[in-house]
Structure formats: C-alpha cells, structure tokens
Chains A and B, each alone.
Chain A
Amino acid sequence: MLDSFFNIDSGYLEGLCRGFRNGILRQADYLNLVQCETLDDLKLHLQSTDYGNFLANEPSPLQVSVIDDKLREKLVTEFQHMRNHAVDPLATFMDYITYGYMIDNIVLLITGALHQRPISELMPKCHPLGTFDQIEAINVANTSVELYNAVLVDTPLAEFFGECVSEQDLDELNIEIIRNTLYKAYLESFYNYCKGLGGTTADVMCPILAFEADRRAFIITVNSFGTELSKEDRAKLYPTCGRLYPDGLAALARADDPENVKQVAEFYTEYRALFEGAGNNPGEKTLEDRFFEYEVKLNVNAFMQQFHCGVFYSYLRLKEQECRNIVWIAECIAQKHRAKIDNYIPIL
C-alpha cells in the first residue's frame, strides 16, 4: 500500500491523534505537579494543561478515585471519537486494541464472581473500552466451556478462546491460565494482523507488539515461581510473536528462579539493559517500571513516522501511562507520602 493513500481515509484521524499527543504532559508539568500540596492544587495545575476543565464540575474535596475516573473518561471519549470516525483497516486495528481490555474485564468479573461479589459492584471497575453486550451475564458460567458457549461465542474474543476450553471448574489458577492463553492468542493475532497490513504500520507495530509479548513471557515466568503451575503449562502461555521466540522462550520454560530469567535476558541487548539495575531496593527501579519506561520509549518513537495506524495504539498507551503517573502523584499527595512521589515515568 502506498503510504500517501493512508490520508484518504485516515489522514484526519491521524492529525487529530497527533494533536492529542501534543497535549501529553511534559517534564516541566510533572515538576509542577509534584510540588502540589493538596489535590486541589493538582486540579488547578491540570486546568492549565490540555486537560482543561475536566475536573471543573467536581466539588471539593477531591478524591483520587474521582481524578482517576475522569482521566480515564476523557481518554475513552477521545479514543471512541476516533474509533467512530475510522474505516477499515484502521477500524479493525482499533477494535483489536480494545480486545485486550475485554480480556482483562472478563477475568476481573469472573474473579469477582468467584469471591461472591455482585456484578453491579464490579461493572464500574471494568475498563469502558472493553465492555460488550453480554459481559454482565458472565457469571452464568461455571466452567470454561460454559463461558465460551454462553457468553463469548458471539464476541470477537471467540476466535482466541479455542485453546482454553475445558470442563474444569473456574478457579483462581484456571482463570489466570485462561487470561494468559487468551492474551497469547490475542497478541499473536494482532501481530499477524499488523504484519498483514504491511508498510509502516507493520514496521512500527511489530516491534511494539513483540516487546509486549516478551514482557508477558518474562512476567509470567517470574510470577510462576512458587505456584503450582507446571513448567509445561507455563511454556504453553508464552506468546510466540516476540524476539524471544523460539530460543529464549525455550530457555525461559526451563527457568527455576529469577536468576535464570536474568540469564536468558543476557542474550538480548535491549532486555539485558532493562534487567541490569532493576530491583526492589530503594534507589533502584522495579523491573515493572523498567519495562514501562522501555514501552514509553517505543511508543514515543512510533510518532516519528507518518501514515500508519501505530500512532493510535501508541497514543492510547502513552496516555494510559500518563494517567498512571498522575494517579501516582495524586496518591502520594493524598497520603502525604512524598518520598516516592518522583517514581513516575516521564513521557516527553
């Protein structure tokens, strides 16, 4: 596909998206935010950024949860506005982005239902991008077969569900396995879709999704230590569209402790840098934060090229990181716990 044809259908949306991106908070904004004494100060400062009056109708005193909700609401409105104007292939691309949230929502609801929490209480916690018609009826299902047959068969997730149909009752471990299997299938499908689109979209999206896949593989491995998950089962959960495939994944499958994981990462330049200096001690950044930082870098780079769908994915990811940052700062302010207030991840 000639890149310049991209503008016929999606030029307006790309412009819009780049405009939104310019509203992302910069380092100077963060420096101002961390100086705030109260959440009302925070609100006052956010008013002078692109967020504008998004908190204007909230009476004082502010709650962190309100800020979180409003941040997310704004992001979702922006995303859905773009989705509603999109045409294929961008429309499918943007739908793919939402599937990830669907998986998270399903897992959230099933876990909640296992703990006897009513659906109506759980629904507000679901990400609005990942809702679908049948989602509230999810507690009809007791086994994964029922889940598939009753709820998911009509949703776009049905095609990812093939591997995890079993008659076993849904329990905690089972749900995690379902989540990771779904995610694996989803990532691989998304990766192939981007690859199929070709051109700049593939150039930009494939590295991002490959990193996403590798990150999941690392995290699954690290989290599986000390649980009943067998090594064979674990190996089945690794998404195979990353740079670790196939040698790294095979090595990860054999890993017994975090040290082994680090050794695997040694073989890959980008990942070695992430593992070096990561830790839980004060002054060190956690591995999770290192991954986030790397993801931010990849996503910022996505804006360096034009005429591709990747900017929409990257914008959403960057904005989510920004929401996490603001909420983190707000939490630190609200709990008067200023020592760690600088642990946000700057974007621009």
Chain B
Amino acid sequence: MEASIFRSEEMRLAQIFLSSEAAYTCVSELGEIGLVQFRDLNPDVNIFQRKFVNEVRRCDDMERILCYLEAQIKKMNIDVLNNGENPEAPQPREMIDLEATFEKLEGELREVNDNAERLDRNFLELTELKHVLESAQIFLDQESDASTSLSQNLIPAEDGRNEPAQLGSVAGVIPREKLAMFERMLWRVSRGNAFLRHQDIATELKDPATGVEIRKCVYLIFFQGEQLKLKVKKICEGCRSTLYPCPDSAAERADMLRGVMSRLADLTVILSQTTDHRERVLVAAAKFLRVWLIKVRKIKAIYHTLNLFNVDVTNKCLIAEGWIPADDKDVIRDALRKGTDKCGTSMQPILNIIETKAEAPTYHRTNKFTNGFQSLIEAYGVATYRELNPGLYTCATFPFLFGVMFGDLGHGFIMFLFALWMVLREKPLAPVMAKSEITNIIFGGRYIVLLMGMFSMYTGFIYNDVFSKSMNVFGSSWHVGPNATIEIIDNHVPEYMLDPADRTDYVGYPYPVGMDPIWQVAVNKISFLNSYKMKISIIIGVVHMMFGVLLSIINHLYFKRILNIFCEFIPQVVFLLAMFGWLVVLVFTKWIFYGAGPEFDTPHGSSCAPNVLITFINMMLMQDDDVKENCESNYMFEGQKQLQTALVLIALLCIPVLLIPKPLILKSQAAKRKLRPLVGVIVVQIQGQEGEQQEGEQQEG
C-alpha cells in the first residue's frame, strides 16, 4: 500500500448494510470522520419522493426559524456567541424537542414584534398629530390673533351675498419626497382653488413596518365647497398621506395637544419595556444560535445522505454504497461500531468490499502544511485516480518561482514575518480569519506565504536587493582605479566607465555570492540586470518544463500506457531539448567562453560575443547575418550551424510524430474492441440455436 503524497489514496467501493435503527447514528459517526463518499443509489427517484423527505423538510423549517432569529438578532446588534464548540448531531428523537423550542421562540418573538409594531404605529400617529397641531398653530398665528378660527372666511363677502362662504380645511402628514407631486396634483384638480401650507418635520420618524427612518412634512389645505373637499380627500388618500383632525379654535387645539403629549409620555414607557423584553428574548437565543444551527444542519445532512441509500425489501435495513480509502477500513469499522453502540441495537452493520472497475474518486490525504498546496493544485485540475500528485513538487517549485519574481530580501522578510505570525498563532486566529473571505484565503495559504517569503529572501539575497538597495557584504570587485584623474572627478563628469579588462578597475574575480553591489550605481543597471534575469528565467523555465514532462513518464509506466511513451513522451522531450534545451546550452556557452579581460582573445572578447537571442532567431529562420568587423564568425564553435539546422529539422519532425500516430492507433484499437463483443454475441446465439437447428446447420455447413 503506497499511501503517500506521491499518489492519491487507493480507494475501495464498500457496501454497508445498516439496520434501520442504527443507520442514523452510524451515518452521523461517518459524517464526523468524513472519509466516505456515498453514491446515490436512487438516481431515478425525485427528491420529493425519497424516504426521508419529511425529515429533510422539518429541518428546512427549523432552519427557516433560525434564519429569522438570526436576522432579528443581527438587527438588534447582539453578538452571537461563538466558542468554537462543535456539537454532535442530536438523536432523531431530540428533533421534536428542538422543533418545540424553536417554535415557541418564534411564536414569542413574533408576538413581541407584533406588539412592538402596533405600539410603534400608535406612537407614530401620535407624534404626527402632535406635529400637525403645533404646525397648525404656527400657520394660523402668522395670519392673525389666537381667536381666529380656521374656517373663518378670509375674503370679504361679495356684495349681494349675505352669508359668507365657509372655508374648509384638511390637515395631514405626507412623506417629503411626495410633496411636490402632491402639490401639483392638488393644483391641477382644484384648478388652483386650494391653498396649501406645509412645513417639514425636523425629526426623522420611524416606519413601524420596516423600521426605516423617513422624513415627512405637515400640510394644511384650505378650500371652499363640499365638491372640492371630496376631491382633496381622495388625493390625500391616494398620495399615502395620513389625515389628522385639526380643531378650529386655538383653545381646542391646545387642549388636544396636551392630551396627545400625555399619551405620548405613557407610550414611551411601554415601548421601552417592550424593547427590553425583546432584547432579553434575543440575548437568550443568541447564546445557543450557533450550536442550534450546527445541529440542524447536521441532521439535515444526515437525512440527505440517508436518502441516497437503498431500502431493503424487508424494510429492516438500509444499503449504502460508497468509496472509502483502503487504509481507513478499520477507522470506518470503528465509527460504525460506535454508531451502533450509541443507538443500542445488537445488529452489527456489515461492511463489504466490492471489486469493481468503476473509476474511483481521487482522495489526497493532506496535513495542514500540504493542504494549501493541494488546494492550489486543485484550482487547476484534480488528478485522476492514482495519477501522480503534483502537490509534492509544488511545495518547492511554487514558492521558488514566486521568489524569482519577487526577489527582495526586505520585502520577503516582511512577508515571512507576516506568515510566521499566522503560523504561530494558528489556533486563536482561525475563527477570526474565517469571518471574511479574503483573510480566509490568505490564512488558508499561510504555509505557502511562509515559504514564498523565505524563497523571496533567498532570491533577494542573490539579486542583492534589500528594499531595492544593495548590501556590500563581501566587498565589491570593482573600484575606481588610478585612471580616474582629478579632472574627471572634479569636473563632476556624470559617468565614469569601469573597464573589466583593467585590473585596477576590476579585481579579476567576481563577487562571491549574488549580484555585485556596484551595479546599484551603474547607469546600465537595468539593461544588464534585465538581460541577466531573462537568461536565468529561461533556464529555470526550461528546467521546470522538462521536469514536468519527465514526471509524465512515471504515470505512463504506472498505467502501462506504452503508446504514450513513444508517441507522446519521447517526441515531447526531443522537441523541448532540441529547441529550448539548445537555447540553454547557448546561454551557458556564452557565459563560459566569452568575456572581457586579458584571458580572452579578440574573437572571444566582449565586442565579438554573439547575441543569443539573434542566434536563436536565425537558427529558426535558417539564415545568417553579416559577420561583425574584427570577429571570426557569428557562431560560438565550429559546426554549430550544421548542428543547429539538424536540431530544427528534428524538432519539426517531432510535430507529426506527436499529432498523427496516436489517434490512428487508438482508433484501430477501438475498432478491434468493437468487434470483440459482437463475436461473443454470435457465439452465444450459435450455442442457443445448437439444439434446435443442429440439422439445419449441418446441412448448411
């Protein structure tokens, strides 16, 4: 058994017979260890026709109540207790208790809320009435003294008419945003014969149904005649405004206002008591909410799983099928035993392993270190069953490639410290980080970040970059030699060229580890480092690709796919080496055999060093550039041109080898396979007919 990070676990298809009493507890135990992937044995049955659909529905209902509770608790800004407790799924009989508790809570809460809403509505009405009365006082005070009545005619009666026409009035409150529309409509309907005064209510009022704060304003409309009164009232109703009675005389208004004020004071007391009661109920519920939610969801998950099972004809037992890791058979047996013990039946569950050719699910056992890397891999794709797991190599290559890109000792150190903090304070941080999706991603990959930080520090050291500055640890190999005369320095020449051939400028051996700090002040820093890092990247990239292709042969050998080795692996390797492997060889050749200084002759001097990129492009296009002055050739060695042409041809040859033979061979194999069962059928038929038609066959034969 090679259960390791190299490959996914070996899986077995298991059939489990569970007695109907013990099924619930057994599935609960299996759920806690999370090692079984159950198969749906009733794929043709609708969800609502399955055996435990009623229980699932009851769980749905409980969840609904809990969601309602949660919404209420959130609205009151009460914290839900979270002590990281993970309760086990309760016994099915406890479900009734839970349901009863929840229903009682919901009923109580709804009653309190209804009461509160009624009180709120009452409160709102009284407050609005108060504002109406106060505003009416202001409107009318502006006109005349306090004795003026509302309905007094403001226009002197015309001659010839004895009785003065009475003015009607309506007072009410309307949401502020509707006022403009309201006023316009009033004007249109009354043809300008209604007079509207309005005033904003300074305080915000609470809508009792939704609890949203709304701004309203008080209005007072004066008009003449019954007809108009009817219309005005209709408009008022239509615009969702509330009408309030407003007595004519100031004395009555003052009287009413006093009454309203005292009732408001009473109401405030009752309201605060209701709110207190509500809060007490919710605080009590908030303590258990999380545990309840977990319990209900666990029950629901168990019944969903039970719905996947087959019911035995005798109705006494349930048959489950599922994939289990071969190594964990005993763990699962233990869990099953524990489940049976819990429910107290004597009938032990039976676990059979079925031999099958069906494709097993991939299961990688991970620990907290490899987990992050494994999920990184699975973001790209999940390996098929027993395929080589790239997770192991990723643990090193991913952070390293990150480091190559993010090479800076200082920045890497900050990253490293941050990851270290997360790793060291793992336990207390876990619940905090889980709250937000973004922090959760970073926390889940804390070990990746840790390694990324370390590799960044390493490559940063090689690049000699600390917050984009260099450290001169071993002493630079470059100095400003005696060639730099006083004039040059005094005249503040912006540039001074250091000559690598001159031993007074360059000591003759490179900086021991990493980049020489002198490059930090060099004018050609960017062009040098870019070219250098580009070459490094090519080498690392080609090695990385080569490694990936080499890994595939392990899969081909393991699954005995010989065809893939010859038609896929070998041409791939040849192609890669002929093109990009050669590029790497060119880079190294140039590094080793070319340079400046007395030990290199002119053809190998800095002015004659061939450009690797141009060489490579010319190799592809099979063409030649003109040879530079004073140089021998464009090539690094004798016969390079012929070799390169051969390499290009080999690489081109690989393409048809990669594309053509494999599909053809697969097709012919499939055609053969199709033939074989047909042969079988014929044989069966002949055997069946043998007895009856022996004579006929013999005649035909």
Interface residues of A (CB under 8 A from B): 32, 35-37, 40-41, 44-45, 48, 56-57, 59-60, 119, 133-134, 136-140, 146, 149-151, 153-154
Contact = CB atoms under 8 A, between A and B. Distances in A.
B240 A57 contact: no
B679 interface: no
Contacts of B63: 56
B67 A57 contact: yes
Interface in B234-265: 234-235, 237-240
Contact of A56 (B49, B67, B237): B67
A337 B46 CA distance: 21
Interface in B149-205: 178, 181, 184-185, 188-189
B341 interface: no
A37 B61 CA distance: 19
B48 A134 contact: no
Given A119-B238, A139-B234, A154-B184, A56 B178 contact: no
A41 B237 CA distance: 42
Contacts, number: 65
A56 B234 contact: no
Considering the complex of A and B, which 3 residue pairs feature the smallest CB-CB distances, nearest first? Answer: A137-B238, A41-B48, A136-B238
A136 to B, nearest CB: 4
Given A137-B237, A137-B238, 17 more contacts: A35-B46, A36-B48, A41-B46, A41-B48, A44-B48, A44-B57, A45-B47, A59-B61, A136-B238, A136-B240, A140-B185, A140-B189, A140-B231, A140-B238, A149-B189, A151-B185, A154-B181
A59 B64 contact: yes
B47 A134 contact: no
Contacts of A139: 234, 238
Contacts of A136: 237-240
A140 B234 contact: yes
Given A32-B46, A40-B57, A41-B48, A138 B238 contact: yes
Contacts of B68: 57
Contact of B64 (A32, A56, A151): A56
Interface in B52-99: 53, 56-57, 60-61, 63-64, 67-68
Contact of B61 (A48, A60, A154): A60
A154 B239 CA distance: 15
Contacts of A56: 60, 63-64, 67
Given A32-B46, A41-B48, A48-B47, A153 B238 contact: no
Contacts of B185: 134, 137, 140, 150-151
B43 to A, nearest CB: 13
A36 B49 CA distance: 9
A66 B181 CA distance: 33
18 contacts: A32-B46, A40-B48, A44-B47, A44-B56, A45-B46, A59-B64, A119-B238, A133-B181, A134-B185, A134-B238, A136-B239, A137-B234, A139-B234, A139-B238, A140-B189, A140-B231, A149-B189, A153-B188
Contacts of A35: 46, 49
B497 to A, nearest CB: 53
Contacts of A133: 178, 181
A137 B235 contact: yes
Interface string B541-579: 000000000000000000000000000000000000000
Nearest to B230: A140
Contacts of A154: 181, 184
Contacts of A151: 185
A44 B53 contact: yes
Interface in B404-457: none
A182 B300 CA distance: 54
Nearest to A40: B57
B62 to A, nearest CB: 12
Given A40-B57, A44-B53, A119-B237, A150 B48 contact: no
Contacts of B234: 137, 139-140
B39 to A, nearest CB: 19
A260 B235 CA distance: 47
A57 B64 contact: yes
B60 A134 contact: no
B571 to A, nearest CB: 41
A150 B189 contact: yes
Contacts of A153: 188
Contacts of B238: 119, 134, 136-140
A287 B256 CA distance: 64
A133 B238 CA distance: 9
B248 to A, nearest CB: 26
A251 B181 CA distance: 46
Given A44-B53, A60-B61, A134 B181 contact: yes
B108 to A, nearest CB: 16
Contacts of B235: 137, 140
B306 to A, nearest CB: 16
Nearest to B231: A140
B278 to A, nearest CB: 20
A56 B231 CA distance: 44
Nearest to B240: A136
A119 B236 CA distance: 12
A329 B239 CA distance: 38
B624 to A, nearest CB: 45
A97 B669 CA distance: 59
A150 B188 contact: yes
Nearest to A109: B238
Nearest to A123: B240
A336 to B, nearest CB: 17
A31 to B, nearest CB: 10
Q: In this complex, which of A35, A134, A153, A154 has the most chain B Cβ atoms within 10 angstroms of its Cβ?
A: A134
Given A32-B46, A41-B48, A149 B64 contact: no
Nearest to B189: A150
Contacts of B237: 119, 136-137
A136 B235 CA distance: 8
Nearest to B56: A44
A32 B46 CA distance: 7
A149 B192 CA distance: 13
A158 B545 CA distance: 70
A294 B516 CA distance: 78
B664 to A, nearest CB: 38
A140 B238 CA distance: 8
A149 B60 CA distance: 53
A323 B234 CA distance: 35
A35 B48 CA distance: 9
A59 B231 CA distance: 42
Nearest to B178: A133
B647 to A, nearest CB: 44
A112 to B, nearest CB: 13
Nearest to B187: A150
Contacts of B231: 140
A44 B47 CA distance: 7
A56 B65 CA distance: 10
B502 to A, nearest CB: 61
A133 B184 CA distance: 12
Contacts of A134: 181, 185, 238
B151 to A, nearest CB: 24
Contacts of A138: 238
A60 B181 CA distance: 42
A41 B50 CA distance: 11
B554 to A, nearest CB: 41
A45 B189 contact: no
A136 B49 CA distance: 46
A48 B47 CA distance: 9
A60 B62 CA distance: 12
Nearest to A120: B237
Nearest to A58: B64
A153 B56 CA distance: 55
A223 B694 CA distance: 77
Contact of A45 (B48, B181, B184): B48
Given A44-B48, A150-B189, A151-B185, A137 B60 contact: no
B396 to A, nearest CB: 40
